[in-house]
Amino acid sequence: MTFSVTILGSSSALPTSKRFPSAHVLNAHERLFLIDCGEGTQIQLRKYKLKLSRIDSIFITHVHGDHTLGLVGLIATLNLLGRKTKLSIYAHASLQPILNQNILFFVNELNFPIEFIPLNSKKHKVILKTDNIIVESFPLKHRIPCNGFLFRESPKLPNIKKEAIERYQLSLTDITSIKRGSDFTSKTGKVIPNTELTYISSPPRSYAYCSDTRYFERLASYTKDVDLLYHEATFDKNLEELAKTTGHSTATQAAKIAKLSNAKKLIIGHYSSRYKDITPLLDEARIVFPETYSAEDGLMFSI
């Protein structure tokens, strides 16, 4: 099943001629999750052939324009396209009255329901759980309340070893019980441990999105062992003090979090518009964490 991330925007506060503001799309089992919605997000969705109708949840890290200014336009477009199904928006409570006012002014009559789920900017918690995916939010350290998100596939039931079915003549009832974690007692009374009867074909995959944040090592505990980590890298290491002052990170600091997290791969992005060429940022991060890749608009990362 598909589990991939498409970069829609990789710039920070100012868009450039090559980089749109922040937005990512996670395709999890053909269900699209939009993460942040900077200006022009709907243009990027169309450009990279991602179906707007398949987005049913939007996650906003914080209420700064480069992460939110595309939201009303996207909602208006979905309305014009005849959407009827519910759209869930996970964001800080301060966004809701502003969003409602803009929808009332620009959209007039909304033909589909919007469910607004306020985020807790101080606690790490599960905010969505389905049969296929679990989404957690966790606090970041920015100038205003800001959250990161962890998307993880729901644990899969183990598979039964074919030889075990034949050896112990397992019934459908036995198989169901074993898949749920039970041991098996044979006709002779011998207890066969569950681990000898089952195997996991593939472990759950995961993706973490760490938007605007200062460097703090506790962040690594929220993204432990993640398959793919996105961490902002607004500045290079020579501007570490500026990063701290503005609530951002350097490429080196992003790489340190990836290393502490034991992440498999790191994507850096949210680049300052001062960087026409982001190669130095990528090189800087790879000194600390070799499996680092640059977020570039239109790139897709499969997990």
Catalytic one of 36, 56, 66, 174: 66
Distance CA 35, CA 28 (A): 13
Beta-carbon contacts of residue 31 (< 8 Å; ≥ 6 apart): 54, 56, 132, 133
Assess whether 66 carries a catalytic annotation: yes
CB 264 within 8 A of CB 230: no
Please count the other Cβ atoms lying within 10 Å of the Cβ belonging to residue 158: 17
Distance of alpha carbon 63 from the chain centroid: 17
Q: Is 292 helix (H, G, I), strand (E, B) or coil?
A: strand
Which SS3 state, helix, strand or coil, does residue 215 take? Answer: coil
Buried b (16+ CB within 10 A) or exposed e, 88-110: bbbbbeebeeebeeebeeebeeb
Pull the structure tokens for residue 37.
């919605």
Q: Identify any residues that bridge with 128 across adjacent strands, giving them in sequence order.
A: 135
Provide the annotated active-site residues.
Answer: 66
